[in-house]
Amino acid sequence: MPEESASTHPEAKSSGIGRDIFCVLALAAVVFLLLHESLFTGKGLVAADAVLKFPPWNRDVRPSNFLLADQYWTFLPTQELMHREKGFPLWNPYICCGAPNLGAIQGALFFPIRLLLAPLGPFNASGPAAFIKLCMAGWFTILYMRLLGVTRPAALFAGIVFSLSGFMIVWLGHPHVNCAMWLPLLLWFVEKSFRLEPGELNSRRAFRLWVGFALAYACLILGGHPPTAIHVTLVVMTYFGFRFFCSGQYRWQRIVWLAGAIGVGLLLAAPQILPFIEYYRNSSSPEAVGALKRWSAHITVPSLIHFLLPNALGSPALGNEDMPTRLDWSATDNYIERTGYVGILPLFLAAYGVAFRRCKFTWFFCGLVAASIVVIYDILPFSLVLRVLPILSNVDQTRLFLVVGFGVAVLAAFGWDELTERARSYRRAKIALLDAVHHSFLIRQVLLLGGGLVAVVVLAIWPKRWPRWVPMVLGLGWTCADLLCFGTGFNPSISRELYYPSTPAIEWLKKDDSLFRVFGGGTMLPPNTAQVFGLSDARAG
Nearest to 177 by CA among 445, 484, 393, 487: 487
Using an 8 Å Cβ cutoff, are 510 and 335 in contact?
no
Structural domain contains residue 96? no
- State yes or no: cis peptide before 128, omega within 30 of 0: no
Structural domain contains residue 70? no
User: What phi and psi, each to the nearest 5 degrees, are found at residue 111?
Assistant: -65, 130
From CA 224, how far away is CA 230, in angstroms rounded? 11
Structural domain contains residue 259? yes
Nearest to 362 by CA among 1, 10, 6: 6
Using an 8 Å Cβ cutoff, are 455 and 47 in contact?
no
Structural domain contains residue 463? yes
Q: Using DSSP, how many helices (H) and how many strands (E) does the chain show?
A: 23, 2
From CA 141, how far away is CA 410, in angstroms rounded? 8
From CA 118, how far away is CA 122, in angstroms rounded? 8
From CA 508, how far away is CA 526, in angstroms rounded? 17
| Angle at 478 (CA atoms; ends 475, 482), nearest 5 degrees | 135
Print the domain residue range for 255. 10-41+123-487
Amino acid at 364: F
Structural domain contains residue 353? yes
Using an 8 Å Cβ cutoff, are 341 and 310 in contact?
yes
User: What phi and psi, each to the nearest 5 degrees, are found at residue 11?
Assistant: -70, -25
Using an 8 Å Cβ cutoff, are 209 and 259 in contact?
no
From CA 210, how far away is CA 284, in angstroms rounded? 37
Counted residue by residue, the chain has a size of 541
Sign of CA dihedral 462, 465, 470, 473: positive
The whole-number pLDDT of residue 429 equals: 31
Using an 8 Å Cβ cutoff, are 49 and 529 in contact?
no
From CA 329, how far away is CA 306, in angstroms rounded? 13
Burial of 328 (0-12, 13-18, 19+ CB in 10 A): exposed
- CA Rg, the chain, in Å? 24
Question: Which residues touch 280 (CB under 8 Å, ≥6 apart)?
Answer: 103, 286
From CA 354, how far away is CA 356, in angstroms rounded? 6
467: left (phi over 0), alpha (psi -120 to 50) or beta: beta
Nearest to 488 by CA among 38, 27, 132: 38
Query: Which residues, listed in sequence order, are joined to residue 478 by a DSSP beta bridge?
Result: none
Amino acid at 337: E
The pTM of the whole model exceeds 0.85: yes
- CA torsion 27-31-33-34 (nearest 10°) is 150
Question: Which residues touch 467 (CB under 8 Å, ≥6 apart)?
Answer: none
Question: Which residues touch 329 (CB under 8 Å, ≥6 apart)?
Answer: 302, 313, 323
Domain total for the chain? 1
Sign of CA dihedral 59, 62, 67, 68: negative
Structural domain contains residue 56? no
Structural domain contains residue 234? yes
- The DSSP secondary-structure symbol of 92 reads E
Structural domain contains residue 520? no
Judged by DSSP in three states, 54 sits in: coil
Query: Which residues, listed in sequence order, are joined to residue 91 by a DSSP beta bridge?
Result: 100
pLDDT in tens, the chain (541 residues): 445 455 545 444 444 556 778 899 999 999 999 999 999 899 999 999 989 989 999 888 888 888 898 898 889 998 998 888 877 788 999 988 888 888 888 889 999 999 999 999 999 999 999 999 999 999 999 999 999 999 999 999 999 999 999 999 999 999 999 999 999 999 999 999 999 887 777 888 999 999 999 999 999 999 999 999 999 999 999 999 999 998 776 678 889 999 999 999 999 999 999 999 998 888 877 777 777 777 778 888 888 888 988 887 778 877 666 666 666 665 556 888 888 999 988 998 999 999 988 899 999 999 999 999 999 988 877 777 877 788 888 888 899 999 999 999 999 999 999 888 765 333 333 332 233 333 355 556 656 666 666 666 666 555 555 566 666 777 788 788 888 888 988 999 999 999 999 999 999 999 998 888 998 887 888 888 999 999 999 988 7
Strands (E), 24-108: 91-92, 99-100
Amino acid at 431: I
